[in-house]
């Protein structure tokens, strides 16, 4: 995890450290694309990156582009951070993507009392370092 201090003087939030398995995912995020593994044997989606399909155990997986569109499945708003580097409140969400897989992320741009299950969402990316851009979600304009 990176903990370097940016020009603001606040410690930077921890960043993921890509592994050989997750490297294609993080490279795509850096390019502004959301990708997911798809099993060539059963056509199921695998998220988070894994060495084999959780449904049929096949190791024949490929990286495919995800639409980045989905709906809010679940959420919680954090008011007391686990570390002082996190600004509160922030909302942790589970998004059900159009492809049928679920992803954990953060919802940006919505006040906690305005959040509703089923809200249509879309992914966007924020550059956090030269190597890492993080996927976040916002309300999708219909």
Q: Give domain limits for the chain.
A: 23-139
More confident residue, 100 or 142: 100
- Residue that is written with structure tokens 């509703």 in the block: 116
pTM confidence score: 0.87
Taken as a whole, the chain contains a residue count of 142
For residue 1, what pLDDT band results from cuts at 50, 70 and 90? very low
CA-nearest of 106, 39, 116, 40 to 72 is: 116
Per-residue pLDDT at 58? 98
Separation between Cα atoms, residue 77 and residue 61, nearest integer Å: 34
pLDDT in tens, 90-115: 999 999 999 999 999 999 999 999 99
């Amino acid at each position: 995890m990176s903990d370097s201090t940016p020009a603001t003087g606040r410690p930077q939030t921890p960043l993921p450290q890509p592994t050989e398995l997750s490297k294609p995912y993080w490279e795509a995020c850096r390019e502004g694309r959301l990708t997911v593994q798809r099993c060539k044997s059963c056509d199921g989606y695998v998220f988070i990156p894994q060495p084999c399909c959780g449904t049929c155990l096949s190791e024949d997986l490929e990286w495919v582009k995800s639409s980045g569109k989905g709906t809010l499945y679940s959420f919680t708003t954090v008011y007391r951070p686990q570390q002082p580097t996190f600004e509160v409140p922030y909302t942790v969400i589970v998004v059900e993507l159009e492809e049928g897989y679920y992803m954990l992320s953060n919802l940006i741009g919505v006040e906690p009392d305005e959040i509703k299950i089923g809200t249509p969402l879309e992914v966007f990316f924020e550059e956090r370092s030269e190597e890492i851009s993080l996927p976040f979600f916002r309300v999708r304009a219909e």
